[in-house]
């Protein structure tokens, strides 16, 4: 005699009399379904996401000049020979950069993405963003600011893997019908199981913390298909951020992308249900790989008042993110003008009511 | 003797003159065209001071002079079993209020009957007669004035309320005479109404300005981080290797519809 729990009301039911009918709620089951159902309940959720260790392809030291910013702590390097010594300014805070005399090095990136947008195109993107902004201070508007936009390589960790997953959900299909003066609601309960796999390629996670993450997520993703191994010229005449986030620190964000991405894909195949409630997830990865990439951006940082405002453009796609300063005088004038105007018109209308 | 006869003769002439004047005054007063109530305030409830009554009478004189409509005010603790309109009509008639053949006049009745019997609070009734009823005041005017007077009365300022009633009545009568009577289409506005109009407009201005400035401030920054993990899934790499939809059980709910919108549930 086999004993089961009723999936509907959790009452004990047995198959001794040949019928599998719950004595409490009256639902009827076939034994194979109950066996599979209870077997599924015993499976536990797990996540086993492995990327392997990051092995750097080398370090950049000889032939490179390193800078640091005394103000914001930003650290950069560029190829010697093309630098503008004494004139380089920090892309993050616009402070003069100090060349480092001691011997320094930076991780050699596995891939470098070339600039697609030139300075003029990036400046035009900035000018477009500044248009129709009544709150922009007078001394900020105009072409001169767009001329100050700087090229910068920023480090990103790229995570790639093959992910497998299994998702089990409770699915409900609701049917409503009328029977005379009675509304009848039939609710069918299903156990919905999906197994599948997907390849995640070049999940991009910031390798530096100087820029607000929301800005970088806004301008991401970069199309890394055009990436190439760095030679000697990539960092010629352009600053590159050395980065301050290692691959281990960046991993949790990549893990989250894989977990939620695969769950979303599997859930998208569970169609036809009124409601779905995920009960268990089993996710694992294989052939994980971590690489370091240098991705190109155009960046403008400017001090206004006591705050530093940053504007960044993806130098491949042209997507932009950032913040512009607000003129308090203009804000006050617009607020006061609208208030006075609406008050006047409203008062005149009230006289005729 | 001659002097005495002369004095008598002169006194007779003076007496005749005096009697004549008295007759004229009597006739003038007894002419229905000029009749009006002897007093303005009939404070049967005893809620007003002598000086208050004098002030009110002064205001009433101005109204009567400017509009030619008589005005009387009555306070009472009991309606003697009558309704407000019935009692007001009775008082108006009893005190012989009203000017001209049509008895043009108005009366403000302030009753404490309901208050004393525990059935409510102060009540007022604005009674109109003659021209005041047929042209001087319309329904809007009576309601508007009554409302404003009631506001004043709620503070216990009987003198102020009565003076306000007389002043407002004067304004409404003047507007009616000028051919622009106050009505639902030509509302009478107090300073409070203008202030309220200004404050509502000002509040609307603040809200709209705040909304516009909020949008403008939002326009000053652009960052819309998206959580599209699909960006990193290699094209055509996703495949489903197992797909099971196992039917477990069903539940049925039956709900009887009732006309009142209530439902009974039967599972």
Beta bridge mates, A112: A228, A294
Beta strand residue intervals within A109-149, DSSP E: 111-112
Calpha distance A226→A30 (Å, rounded): 57
Calpha distance A166→A275 (Å, rounded): 19
Task: Please state the φ and ψ torsions of residue B159, each to the nearest 5 degrees.
Answer: -60, -50
Contact B235/A at CB under 8 A: no
Contact A344/B at CB under 8 A: yes
Calpha distance B72→A265 (Å, rounded): 87
For residue B44, how many other CB atoms are within 10 A of its CB?
Answer: 15
> pLDDT at position B22, please?
43
Beta bridge mates, A191: A170, B246
Calpha distance A164→A49 (Å, rounded): 10
What is the residue-averaged pLDDT of chain B?
84
Calpha distance B105→B89 (Å, rounded): 11
Task: Please state the φ and ψ torsions of residue B164, each to the nearest 5 degrees.
Answer: -60, -45
Contact B241/A at CB under 8 A: yes
> pLDDT at position B10, please?
52
CB contact under 8 A, A265 and B244: no
Peptide bond between residue A221 and the one before it cis (omega within 30 degrees of 0): yes
Per the rule left: phi > 0, alpha: psi between -120 and 50, beta: everything else, B40 is alpha
CB contact under 8 A, B220 and A136: yes
> pLDDT at position B151, please?
87
Q: What residues of A are in contact with residue B202 (Cβ under 8 Å)?
A: 339, 343, 346
Contact A64/B at CB under 8 A: no
Q: What angle do CA A228, A234, A237 make, to 5 degrees?
A: 165
Cβ(B87)–Cβ(B76) below 8 Å:
yes
Structure tokens of A126? 């900035």
Calpha distance B42→B35 (Å, rounded): 17
Per-residue pLDDT of chain A (353 residues; tens, 9 = 90+): 567 888 888 888 876 555 688 888 888 888 888 888 888 888 889 999 999 889 988 888 888 899 988 888 889 999 887 666 557 888 988 888 888 888 888 999 999 999 999 999 998 888 888 888 889 888 776 666 777 889 999 999 999 999 999 999 999 999 999 888 899 999 999 999 999 999 999 999 999 998 888 899 899 889 888 888 888 788 888 899 999 999 999 999 999 999 999 999 999 999 999 999 999 999 999 999 999 999 999 999 888 888 888 899 999 999 999 888 899 999 999 999 999 999 999 999 988 87
Beta strand residue intervals within chain A, DSSP E: 3-5, 12-14, 46-48, 59-60, 64-68, 75-79, 98-99, 106-107, 111-112, 150-179, 182-206, 239-241, 275-304, 307-314, 320-323
- Residues 6 or more apart from A293 whose CB is under 8 A from it? A109, A110, A111, A112, A113, A155, A156, A157, A158, A202, A204, A222, A224, A227
**Interface mutation target, options A25, A164, A346, chain B, most CBs of B under 10 Å:** A346
Cβ(A166)–Cβ(A274) below 8 Å:
no
- pLDDT tens across B8-43, in order? 455 555 555 554 544 344 434 444 344 566 778 999
Contact A321/B at CB under 8 A: yes
Beta strand residue intervals within B64-164, DSSP E: 70-76, 105-111, 123-129
SS3 A196: strand
CB contact under 8 A, B249 and A189: yes
Please determine, for residue B261, whether its predicted confidence score (pLDDT) is greater than 60: no
The DSSP code sequence of B205-220 is HHHHHHHHHHHHHHHT
Query: Pick from A134, A193, A202: which is nearest to B242 by CB?
Result: A193
Range name among A144-148, A217-221, B91-95, B133-137 with the lowest pLDDT average? A144-148
For residue B155, how many other CB atoms are within 10 A of its CB?
Answer: 9
Rg of chain A (C-alpha set): 30
Find residues 65-124 of chain A whose CB sits inside 8 Å of chain B: none
pLDDT-based confidence at B5, cuts 50/70/90?
A: very low
Find residues 171-200 of chain B whose CB sits inside 8 Å of chain A: 187, 189, 194, 196-198, 200
Q: What residues of A are in contact with residue B221 (Cβ under 8 Å)?
A: 322-324
Cβ(A172)–Cβ(A206) below 8 Å:
no
CB contact under 8 A, A184 and B223: no
Contact B209/A at CB under 8 A: yes
> pLDDT at position B36, please?
62
Find residues 122-161 of chain B whose CB sits inside 8 Å of chain A: none
Calpha distance A291→A55 (Å, rounded): 8
The one-character DSSP state at B114 is: H
CB contact under 8 A, B221 and A324: yes
Q: Model's pTM, two decimal places?
A: 0.69
How many Cα atoms occupy the beta-carbon half-sphere of B249 within 13 Å?
A: 20
CB contact under 8 A, B216 and A264: no
């Amino acid at each position: 005699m086999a004993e089961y729990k009723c999936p509907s009301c959790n009452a004990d039911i047995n198959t001794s009399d040949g019928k599998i009918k719950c004595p409490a709620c009256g639902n009827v089951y076939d034994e194979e379904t109950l066996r599979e159902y209870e077997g599924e309940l015993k499976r536990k959720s797990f996540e086993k996401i492995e990327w392997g260790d990051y092995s750097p392809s080398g370090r950049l030291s000889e032939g490179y000049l390193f800078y640091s910013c005394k103000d914001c702590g930003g650290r950069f390097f560029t190829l010697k020979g093309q630098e503008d010594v004494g004139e380089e300014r920090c892309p993050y805070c616009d402070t003069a950069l100090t060349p480092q005399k001691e011997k320094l090095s930076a991780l050699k990136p596995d891939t470098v993405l070339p600039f697609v947008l030139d300075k003029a195109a990036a400046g035009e993107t900035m000018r477009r963003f500044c248009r129709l902004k009544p709150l922009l201070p007078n001394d900020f508007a105009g072409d001169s600011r767009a001329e100050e936009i700087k090229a910068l390589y920023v480090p990103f960790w790229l995570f790639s893997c093959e992910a497998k997953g299994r998702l089990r959900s409770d699915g409900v299909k609701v049917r409503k019908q009328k029977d005379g003066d009675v509304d009848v609601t039939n609710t069918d309960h299903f156990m919905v199981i999906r197994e599948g796999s997907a390849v995640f390629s070049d999940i991009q996670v910031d390798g530096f913390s100087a820029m607000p993450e929301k800005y970088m997520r806004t301008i991401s993703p970069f199309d890394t298909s055009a990436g190439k191994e760095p030679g000697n010229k990539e960092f010629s005449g352009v600053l590159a951020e050395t980065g301050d986030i290692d691959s281990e620190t960046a991993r949790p964000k990549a893990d989250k992308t894989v977990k939620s991405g695969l769950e979303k894909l599997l859930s998208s195949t569970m169609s036809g249900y009124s409601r779905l409630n995920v009960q268990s997830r089993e996710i694992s990865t294989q052939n994980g790989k971590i690489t370091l990439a240098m991705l190109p951006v155009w960046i403008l940082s400017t001090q206004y008042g006591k705050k530093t405002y940053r504007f960044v453009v993806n130098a491949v796609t042209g997507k932009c993110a950032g913040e512009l300063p607000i003129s308090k005088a203009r804000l006050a004038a617009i607020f006061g003008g609208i208030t006075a105007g609406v008050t006047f018109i409203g008062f005149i209308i009230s006289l005729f009511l | 003797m001659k002097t005495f006869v002369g004095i008598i003769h002169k006194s007779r002439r003076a007496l005749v003159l005096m009697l004549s004047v008295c007759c004229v005054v009597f006739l003038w007063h007894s002419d229905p065209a000029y009749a009006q109530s002897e007093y303005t305030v009939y404070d049967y409830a005893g809620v007003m001071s002598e000086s208050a009554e004098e002030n009110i009478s002064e205001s009433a004189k101005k109204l009567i002079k400017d509009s030619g409509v008589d005005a009387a005010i009555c306070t009472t603790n009991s309606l003697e079993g009558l309704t407000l309109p019935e009692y007001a009509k009775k008082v108006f008639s009893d005190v012989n209020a009203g000017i001209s053949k049509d008895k043009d006049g108005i009366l403000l009745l302030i009753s404490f009957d309901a208050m004393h019997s525990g059935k409510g609070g102060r009540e007022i009734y604005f009674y109109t007669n003659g021209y005041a009823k047929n042209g001087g005041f319309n329904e809007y005017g009576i309601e508007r004035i009554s409302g404003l007077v009631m506001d004043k009365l709620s503070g216990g300022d009987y003198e102020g309320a009565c003076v306000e009633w007389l002043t407002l009545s004067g304004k409404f009568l003047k507007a009616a005479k000028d051919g622009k009577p106050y009505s639902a289409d030509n509302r009478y506005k107090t300073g409070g109404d203008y202030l309220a109009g200004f404050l509502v407009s000002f509040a609307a201005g603040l809200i709209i300005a705040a909304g516009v400035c909020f949008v403008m401030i939002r326009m000053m920054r652009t960052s819309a981080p998206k959580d599209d993990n699909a960006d990193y899934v290699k094209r055509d790499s996703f495949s489903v290797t197992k797909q099971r939809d196992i039917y477990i059980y069903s539940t049925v709910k039956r709900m009887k519809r009732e006309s009142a919108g209530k439902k009974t549930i039967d599972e």
